[in-house]
Amino acid sequence: MNQPNLFETLTTLFPGKQIRKSHVIQALWSGYGELARYYIDNEPVILKHIDLQAYASGCIVHPRGWSSTFSHQRKIASYQNERQFYCDYAHLTDHHCRVPRLLSSRSDNDGLWLLLEDLDAAGFDQRHGLHLTKYVTPQQRIKHVRDVIRWLAYFHGRFIQPQQTSLWPQGNYWHLATRPDEFNAMPDSPLKEAAHELDKRLRACQYQTIIHGDAKLANFCFHQAPDHDPNIAAVDFQYCGTGVGIIDVVYLLSSAFDSDDLTRYSEGLIAEYFDHLTIAIGASLSEHQLTELRQQWCQLVCVAWADFERFLVGWSPQHAKRNAFSDEQTNLAIY
């Protein structure tokens, strides 16, 4: 969708108001478009613009070289999935699991865009996911992770035991069915042999919810007032879909800690997640069901870790998230 058509559409949606583009916040992954701040009169909004013709025009350059047709189709489907989340599910969240409000959306053959609430203007202007160890102390990092764990617990509790949804039938961006190229790139190993069984165990779990699917610290926006309630909001729902909640928790922990800190903190943080989840689910499940859920998801912690390890081995074998702790969890799952 070119700029003249974009302005024309915004003018149609907001007749009589002055539309002004302020600046590009960031380019989207691999060159699929941009995230930009606009002003409608004096009110800031965020426009996420996806260029559906970028791949055909040769503009897509994956930083790690994964630019196949299959990869492109997955990426386009992920943006369409994100639009479905904002249209069908975002309004069902509450202040415990805050997300941006959808103001408008559009999709055609050329592009897809989401016009969203500006979280910075709402006070959620603090980012702690990038260069984490350089800018915060370990104590601050743990505080940020605990805040996100609480958000995840309430999000998962909100959507526990979903019926058929309009989202991905299997959430998260690395699950086996959506990563055949990376799987084929893996060397032969016990992990590769176990990959389908690990995936089956995650999908076969009795208790499912809607998961975020990319729950790294960088996808959470923290409020400028630490005591504000809510104090965080989440963005980037491209891989939101059905899954077990512990997948999000495992990925969050992998994004925040090195091997030593994972050994030190992960068990307590996972226990804290389940405490929040019990409160968030409330009367939606019986006490017996809650006990079963906790038992089943706890047993899948190492499975989720091994499943993510499987993706990394094929996608980026030297990635920093592959460490002694993840190796230990992988061994627990496959032996």
Q: What was the pLDDT predicted at 58?
A: 54
Q: How many Cβ atoms are within 10 Å of 93's Cβ, its own excluded?
A: 18
Say whether pLDDT at 20 is over 60. yes
Q: Which two tokens stand for residue 85?
A: 């989340």
Please give the residue that has the higher pLDDT: either 109 or 25.
25
pLDDT tens track for 273-326:
999 999 999 999 999 999 999 999 999 999 999 999 999 999 999 999 999 999
Please state, in angstroms and as integers, the Cα–Cα distance from residue 85 to each residue in 22, 211, 218, 281, 296, following that order.
26, 11, 19, 20, 27
Residue 310 CA to residue 160 CA, distance in Å, equals 27
Q: Which CATH number, 3.90.228.20, 3.40.50.970, 3.40.50.720, 3.30.200.20, labels domain 3-117? A: 3.30.200.20
- Residue showing tokens 């019986």: 286
Question: Domain spans of the chain?
Answer: 3-117, 126-334
Rg (CA), the chain: 20
Band (pLDDT 50/70/90 cuts) for residue 134 is: low
In this structure, are residues 114 and 87 in contact, taking their beta carbons and an 8 Å threshold? no
3-state helix, strand, coil in the chain (%, to 5): 50, 15, 35
Least Cα distance to 270 among 251, 285, 289, 286 occurs for: 251
Q: What was the pLDDT predicted at 228?
A: 87
DSSP E strand boundaries for the chain: 19-27, 33-40, 43-51, 102-107, 111-117, 126-127, 209-211, 220-222, 232-234, 241-243
Please give the residue that has the higher pLDDT: either 58 or 108.
108
Please give the residue that has the higher pLDDT: either 129 or 174.
174
DSSP 45: E
Q: How many Cβ atoms are within 10 Å of 235's Cβ, its own excluded?
A: 19
DSSP 41: T
Mean pLDDT of 108-113: 81
Residue 47 CA to residue 28 CA, distance in Å, equals 12
Please give the residue that has the higher pLDDT: either 315 or 135.
315
- Helices H, strands E: what count in the chain? 11, 10
Q: Please tell me the pTM assigned to this model.
A: 0.92
Q: What was the pLDDT predicted at 140?
A: 83
Say whether pLDDT at 32 is over 70. yes
Mean pLDDT of the chain: 90
One-letter amino acid at 85 equals F
3-state secondary structure of 279: helix
Least Cα distance to 38 among 18, 13, 54, 52 occurs for: 18
Residue 168 CA to residue 171 CA, distance in Å, equals 6
Q: Which two tokens stand for residue 290?
A: 């809650």
Mean pLDDT of 73-97: 93
Q: To the nearest whole percent, how much of the chain has pLDDT over 90?
A: 70
DSSP assignment string, 199-234: HHHHHH-S--EEE-S---GGGEEE-SSTT-SS-EEE
Q: What was the pLDDT predicted at 327?
A: 97
Q: What was the pLDDT predicted at 279?
A: 97
Q: What was the pLDDT predicted at 131?
A: 53
Q: Give the fold, CATH level 3, of 126-334.
A: Aminoglycoside 3'-phosphotransferase; Chain: A, domain 2 (3.90.1200)
Torsional class of 210: left (φ above 0), alpha (ψ -120 to 50), beta (otherwise): beta
Say whether pLDDT at 60 is over 70. no
Residue 211 CA to residue 217 CA, distance in Å, equals 15
